[in-house]
Structure 1
Amino acid sequence: MKKIVLLSLGFLTMLSCNESSNGFTINGSLRGDIEDGTQVFLKKIGEDNQPVEVDTTMVTGGKFTFKGVSEKPELHYLFVDKANTYAALILENGDIDFEAQIDSLGFAKIEGTTQNELFSDYMKQSREISQRAQSIQQDMQHASTSGGSQETMIALRDEMQELQEEYQNFEVDYIKNNPNALISALLLERATAAKILGSEEIQELYNTFTPEVKDSKPGKRIIESLEELKKSEEQAKNTAIGAKAPNFSGPNPDGETIALNDVLGKVTLIDFWAAWCRPCRAENPNIVSVYKKYHEKGLNVIGVSLDKSADAWKKAIADDGLEWNHISNIAYFDDAIARLYNVDAIPAAFLLDENGVIVAKNLRGPALEQKVSELLD
């Protein structure tokens, strides 16, 4: 089974008259070429982010039915045997009416319960923005293949950027306007994980949720992720430009412990990298060039590797001619130094002055030499 990608664009206190605490009924209707006896699967995402089967039924005369009890509203998926698409719906107690063409399950009409009405409203609006994005992408592809002007490509990129900002604002506004919707919790959970919003704004939006939405699975996960985000933001302050770089230490390739404070120069570059990181390896020749040019004037470099293999780390140092100090805990992104510096992607770099104060971050190519020259020449 292929992995499910939740909602291509995304992702109550008052109950509608047909919702019931006695359980749910999904009344399904499928159009198109579909044989009696075709299986329909009701699934949800398990702990390992893979689909888990909840129930199975069969199609008869284009109809199918699921019945059961839902403890609380939760996102589920409907798969039909031999169909290439699937449909998302909110499983909650009440009568849920599902109607779709067998070849386009993702565009199903889902009605009957509060959360599914809210979910369908969100999907309708998000699809409208998605269609506009697809149109821009088609225009960009046509301009590229037909030799369109540079001005046209720039205009289309700007248009796409504006649309992306519009979509982000749409999702935030949807959350604000629908604090009783499970989809709002799903959207806020995604924004929290992607660090699209700051912790204060996420907290404010979460506080508006109804008790039912707060008690949902995504609602609970938001609180867990929010605590991690707050810690991350606090760590980011410690490694912001103008802050004193936190000291750290670790083993070098010979097993000896080296600390940042022991190798500070007039200018010091902390370079987070790894042998497996292609952009890092591509940048290494530039760092080598700058180091050779400015080391005697006071430039020091300390490489912090996020490798998983000590042998690969040492080989990359030799192959790339990296003659400066190196340390690594061979811990990948679980490395304590990476966490201290809030590094969740590499390459990442911090440039320090003679006092160990961070004066620049993530400089590469000519920008690195320009800043080093400014500090040492």
Structure 2
Amino acid sequence: MRLVIIAILLCCAWGCSEAGGYCFTMKGRVPGMKYGTVFIRTNDSESRVLASADLDNYEFILKGELEEPGCYVLQVNDKKMTVLLDGQELVAEFLEGAHLKNLKGSPAQDCFKKYEMEMGKKVSEMSGKNVDVENIFSFAAEDELQQLRFKETCIFIEKNPDNIASAHIALTEMKNDYDKGIKMYELLSERVKRLEIGKALKRKLEQVESVANGKKFPEIEVCSIAGDSLTLKDWSGSVYVIDFWASWCGPCRAELQYLKKLYKELEGKGVKFVSVSLDNSPKAWARANAEEKLEWLSVRNRYGFDLEQGICKALDIRSIPFIVVLDKDGTVAGKSLRQEVLRNKLLEMLK
């Protein structure tokens, strides 16, 4: 009897059909767009249309039934935006050009908006402590800021464990960091974990778990400057700095200048450097490699910057420069480390 009552309460909260789905009505007025179509789509690569309505005389009323509350894409003509849907009666407010200003009636959207406001305030306060220009733009300051952001994010999720916004925030904030992701995942309620948005976070964790800190670093299929195929797999015996870069990446080329200085400083102290180009073009890489005159092993990823194959998929590399540090056992000791943060990590490991 108690389970029946709980089910009824959940249906009232979310809106249910006889099939048990999530029903909602969304009303809206879109300044500057008199006619067109409004869609709700899946928030994935398939982008399937789940509901739609006509935009007539700047206004629309969209009624839909989804499998469950979660993260979806709201599309107005050709303008797309991510939204969190978990209320029955929704009112979408737009600025000129179909820019979403607010989505009333969605507790999850309100929760996410609150998170952004609170985080913006915290980041501003933290940035204000680094008053001199040198500190503001240092990677040490950026690293400290990211640590603060993660700490405050965990506090926020812990306060809102049963809101789907917390799972959405965790998905965004974890990037490819398994340790951060699993901590945020464990703060979520069991209900949110069972929803698709919670399952998406779990899948992301499973994807990057193999290269989490403390895990053995995988093999890399690469090509030499002569075009020979190689497999880099023996990472033991030294501390390794593996730099993923590309010829067309300005920040990567700037980071290489710092790595050259660091190489000179740590030469002969048990640290080996490896640069792995993600260039799709062997010629572009060869030209950049000749310009940089690297004094350590320099190779090109066999799959270039293909996100769905090889090391890019294994490490979930979405942006570069991306630097990984391995300990003498060939296990991951740190990822996404740069400049003085990287140097401090290496000096600590060499003690």
Task: Compute the TM-score of the two structures, normalised by the length of structure 2.
Answer: 0.61
Q: Are 2:296 and 1:324 equivalent residues in the alignment?
A: yes
Q: Is the 8 A contact 2:26 2:61 kept in 1?
A: yes
Corresponding residue to 1:72 among 37, 48, 67: 67
Structure 2: runs of 5+ lacking an equivalent: 1-6, 137-141
User: 5 Å matches for 1:178-189?
Assistant: 184-185=163-164, 187-189=166-168
* Percentage of pairs with the same residue: 18
Q: Distance in 1 between matches of 2:84 and 2:330?
A: 54
Pair 1:261–1:188, CA change in 2 (3 A) = closer
Count, aligned residues: 319
Pair 1:56–1:370, CA change in 2 (3 A) = closer
Task: Give the partner amino acid of 1:54.
Answer: S
Q: Are 2:50 and 1:44 equivalent residues in the alignment?
A: no
Q: Are 2:273 and 1:301 equivalent residues in the alignment?
A: yes
Task: Give the partner amino acid of 1:185.
Answer: I
Q: Are 2:336 and 1:364 equivalent residues in the alignment?
A: no
Q: Distance in 1 between matches of 2:333 and 2:81?
A: 51
Q: Are 2:205 and 1:229 equivalent residues in the alignment?
A: yes
Q: Is the 8 A contact 1:270 1:301 kept in 2?
A: yes
Q: Is the 8 A contact 2:90 2:103 kept in 1?
A: no
Corresponding residue to 2:196 among 190, 215, 220: 220
Q: Is the 8 A contact 1:58 1:64 kept in 2?
A: yes
Q: Is the 8 A contact 1:136 1:160 kept in 2?
A: no
Q: Distance in 1 between matches of 2:270 and 2:148?
A: 44
Pair 1:264–1:169, CA change in 2 (3 A) = closer
Partner of 2:181: 198
Q: Deviations over 1:299-342 (max 9, x none)?
A: 65332222221111111110111143222214214563455566
Pair 1:49–1:247, CA change in 2 (3 A) = closer
Q: Are 2:144 and 1:169 equivalent residues in the alignment?
A: no
Q: Deviations over 1:263-284 (max 9, x none)?
A: 9886654333222232221122
Task: Give the partner amino acid of 1:326.
Answer: S
Structure 1: runs of 5+ lacking an equivalent: 1-11, 111-118, 177-183
Q: Deviations over 1:5-26 (max 9, x none)?
A: xxxxxxx652339956389684
Cα deviation for residue 344 of structure 1 reads 5.1
Task: Give the partner amino acid of 1:223.
Answer: K
Q: Distance in 1 between matches of 2:120 and 2:269?
A: 53
Cα deviation for residue 253 of structure 1 reads 1.2
Q: Is the 8 A contact 2:219 2:233 kept in 1?
A: yes
Corresponding residue to 2:190 among 197, 202, 207: 207
Q: Is the 8 A contact 2:15 2:24 kept in 1?
A: no
User: 5 Å matches for 1:123-142?
Assistant: 123-124=109-110, 127=113, 130=116
User: 5 Å matches for 1:337-356?
Assistant: 337-338=311-312, 345=319, 346-350=321-325, 353=328
Instruction: Report which stretch shifted further, 316-325 or 364-373.
Output: 364-373
Q: Deviations over 1:254-299 (max 9, x none)?
A: 1234454789886654333222232221122333345467657876
Instruction: Report which stretch shifted further, 228-237 or 126-135.
Output: 126-135
Q: Distance in 1 between matches of 2:189 and 2:229?
A: 45
Q: Distance in 1 between matches of 2:317 and 2:297?
A: 19
Q: What root-mean-square deviation, in Å, do the aligned CA atoms of Structure 1 and Structure 2 show?
A: 5.5
